[in-house]
Structures are given as structure tokens and as C-alpha cells.
Amino acid sequence: MYNVKSQKAEEFIDHREVLESVRWAKENKNNLELIDEVIEKAKLRKGLNHREASLLLACEDKSRNEEIFKLAKQIKKDYYGNRIVLFAPLYLSNYCINGCVYCPYHAKNKHIPRKKMTQEEVKREVIALQDMGHKRLAIESGEDPVNNPIEYILECIKTIYSIKHKNGSIRRVNVNIAATTVENYRKLKEAGIGTYILFQETYNKENYEMLHPTGPKHNYAYHTEAMDRAMEGGIDDVGLGVLFGLSEYDYEFAALLMHAEHLEAVHGVGPHTISVPRIRKADDIDPDAFKNAIDDDTMAKIVACIRIAVPYTGMIISTRESKKSRETLLNLGVSQISGGSKTSVGGYYEPEKEDEDSSQFDVVDNRTLDEVIKWLIDLKYIPSFCTACYREGRTGDRFMSICKNLKIHDCCHPNALLTLKEYLEDYAKPDTKAAGEEMIKHELQMIDNSEVKSVLLNNLEKIKNGERDFRF
């Protein structure tokens, strides 16, 4: 029985409710009166529930679809302006005891090189990342209680935060590790992590169990209820995501929003971010074997409808997407991207030779971070390395209330300029620096608040003179 407030996965992601939502949406996909009603509600920019959003996803009417895309762009602009936050994944270890059939790190893959970084190697990687200009990382690790116990993860986080190389520093470590206990989540919280991210992979229980045949991850309920345990452990920023291609996309979409509604109903705060990865080619993995793989147009519609349904939730895409696809999705709602990523263990310090490849998936967007920054600036997006919120205690419901009132812009915009300025001073190539300085000049003219402008100008000058780490 569907119960948004239940603590049981099979009740808050009730299979029948998901199927019924998808069926209802399909049945009404040409019901223009109903679609118009939902679009009108969406224009209030307060979000939609999973049924309403599913209807927009299913809508086949050309002019309504144009309206949906237009609205997604407008909401993106209202909540996120023209800022894009940058991050990089850091793979600590690819030892894994699970059997996920879509991931090359699955335990039965005997030919992929297994690696686990020592603290010295973590340090080398972090210095390489700092030298690129990164300030925000998402650490990734396979699940293996012997090789990658929580103590190892905590030690790595400590190492990462401790490294101050030249003007570099990693100011926010987000964590993407397997579902764990409340006690371990509490330890992660104490270690000062930003967001805890866990992809559901697929919400369809039957498919989930088939795709995760062995290992602790096989337990659907334990995995799906992980965010509740994380929040119980004190982590108030959590990131959801599905791997599109594993099950039917409309099922995943409705269930993903039901998960967001559940977190909001039980904990008073929805997901901080939603990631939208698609299945990609990798060692031992052929994406063509997954009949639910989605094309670019479907991906764009999904991103637009998520943007409309949960305006206050950040949306993330990785370098699994091509430059062209990233450009489309940025416009429709994505607010965070990775840049210059390596998806192998130790790949930043020393790029791997082909026969030593330990990558989790093939990176499609292979550009350097500086190329990504220049590209963003040329597209008139402000690249932001901001990490201010959690360092200022703006997390969980506090963050959400500022965000829902559209007040976060007053912090994000000046912070984006401050962190861009740091990047330009410390890491940018000459043409990126010139374009970035022009952008800062232009953006300064957009600031009406004279107090903010004066503090900002003052701090930009201090950055030019060598000081770092200012924030609103």
C-alpha cells in the first residue's frame, strides 16, 4: 500500500503506485485540458507531484512540449541564474564485492586491474586536482568491508581536507559510497562531508534484484532506505539518482520523484541533488545489451520535467555526456557538472596505459577543466567553484527554505564570481583568463545591492593581491 511517510521502501516506492502513475500519464498524454492545468500549476514554480510531472513527461503535444521546455529554462534561470557549479569525481578504490551487472567493478570481473589508493596516492591525486583548480570532490569507492571499510573512507576524507598545495584546497568532499549503517553515516557527518550521494540505479525491485544478483547491494530495501538512515545519522544533504537505461524511464522518473516526496514528508527536506547518469560503455559492459537505454531527446525531456517538478533541487550530469548533450541539458535544468574527470583509480596523477585501465565507465567529454571553463564562459554561464553553503551551516531545511524563497541567488552569484576569480588568478590559460575577467566585469554591472557589490569588489581586489577563500 502506498504510504509516502512509511519507513519501508516497498511502501514509499509502492510498485503499484508507480505503475498506476505511469498508466494514468500515458492515458492522458493527449488530454490537453489536463496538461494545461498542470502547466499552469508548474508556472507557480513550487514544483509538481510525481503524477503531475509524469503527465508532462508523457505529453506528446508539440506546442505543450515546447511550453514545458520553455518553462524548464525559465525555472532554471530563476533558481540558478547562469551559474554552473564544477566538481570532480575521485575514485579511491575499485575493490567491490557486489555483482552489479552494468558496472565493470563487479566482483566477477577478473581481468580489470584492482586498485586501492594509499594515503600517499590520495595526496598525489588531490594535489593534481588542486592544480587543475578543483575545490569540490565527489569521492567514489566500491563496496568491500575488508578493503574499503568506513575507517579507510574517513582516513581518505581527512587526508583530502588536510592538503593545502600552493593556493589550492578541497573545500567540500561529497561522498558516493555504498548504503551503510546510521552509525557510519554519523561518522561521515562528523568527518565534515558535504552531500551523501547514493544512486538507486533502478527503483524497479524485480529488475533491481536481477541486476544486483550477488553481494549486499542485492538487498533492495536496505539500499532504498539508505537516505533515511543517512538523515537519521545527521546528514541533511543527500543526493538521489538513477542510472537511466536499467528499467523503463517513465517508471524510474515517477519513482525518483516519489523518493523525493518521501524525504520531504518524513524529514522535512527533499534531496539536495538529483543525478541523471545514463548507461555507458565500459570494460565488460555493452550498453546495447540494455534495451531500456534512452536517446538524447528523451534525456532532455526527463531533465526538463525534473527541473519543473523539483525546482529547488540541484541537478548533476557527469562526463558520461558529450559536450553537445551537456550544452542542451545545462540549458534545461542541470546546475552542476564534472570537468576534466578521470573515472579510474589514481588517474589524475598518472593517466593509465590502456592495458591497465581501471575506469568505471568511458568518459565521453574528454576536455580538460580549463577547456570546460572556457566553453562555459563562451556560453555565458559563470563557472562556479563555490562551496560556501555547508561551510556557513546552510544545509538541510535551512538551505531549502532560503532556496525555495529564491534568496540563495544573493549568495550564489557573488560566490561564483569570487571563486571564478580565484580560478583565473591561479589556474586559467591566458584566453580563459581574459574571457573570465570580461565576464566578471559584465556580471558586476548586474548587481543592484550596493552593499553586496562593495564587499564583492573589495574581496575581488584582495584575491588579485593573493588572499583566498572569501564567501557570502
At 43, list the grid cell.
508556472
Give the binding range for ligand SF4 (CB under 6 A) out of 92-100, 257-265, 274-282, 450-458. Answer: 92-100
Residue 84 interacting with ligand SF4 (CB under 6 A): no
Q: How far is Cα 320 from Cα 299, in angstroms, rounded to an integer?
A: 13
Helix segments in 333-395, DSSP class H: 369-378, 388-391
Ranges of beta strands (E only) in 47-205 are: 83-93, 136-141, 172-176, 196-197
In the complex with ligand SF4, which residue's Cβ is closer, 159 or 358? 358
Cβ 303 vs Cβ 325: under 8 Å: no
Residue of the chain from 57, 96, 337, 460 that contacts ligand SF4 (CB under 6 A)? 96
Q: Which residue shows C-alpha cell 524525504?
A: 263
Residue 85 interacting with ligand SF4 (CB under 6 A): yes
Minimum gap (Å) between residue 434 Cβ and ligand SF4:
24
Residue 143 interacting with ligand SF4 (CB under 6 A): yes
Residue of the chain from 173, 300, 306, 386 that contacts ligand SF4 (CB under 6 A)? 386
Residue 174 interacting with ligand SF4 (CB under 6 A): no
Residue 345 interacting with ligand SF4 (CB under 6 A): no
Residue 156 interacting with ligand SF4 (CB under 6 A): no
Cβ 113 vs Cβ 356: under 8 Å: yes
Q: Which residue shows C-alpha cell 574581496?
A: 459
Minimum gap (Å) between residue 348 Cβ and ligand SF4:
19
Residue of the chain from 230, 309, 412, 418 that contacts ligand SF4 (CB under 6 A)? 412
Q: How far is Cα 146 from Cα 144, in angstroms, rounded to an integer?
A: 5
Residue 343 interacting with ligand SF4 (CB under 6 A): no
Cβ 228 vs Cβ 36: under 8 Å: no
Q: How far is Cα 249 from Cα 246, in angstroms, rounded to an integer?
A: 8
**In this structure, which amino acid lies at residue 93?**
S
Helix orientation angle between 62-80 and 323-332, rounded to the nearest 10 degrees: 80
Residue 54 interacting with ligand SF4 (CB under 6 A): no
Minimum gap (Å) between residue 142 Cβ and ligand SF4:
4
Residue 51 interacting with ligand SF4 (CB under 6 A): no
Q: How far is Cα 259 from Cα 369, in angstroms, rounded to an integer?
A: 33
Residue 211 interacting with ligand SF4 (CB under 6 A): no
In the complex with ligand SF4, which residue's Cβ is closer, 22 or 337? 337
Q: Site residues (CB under 6 A) for ligand SF4?
A: 85, 96, 98, 100, 103, 105-106, 142-143, 178, 217, 384, 386-389, 408, 411-412, 415
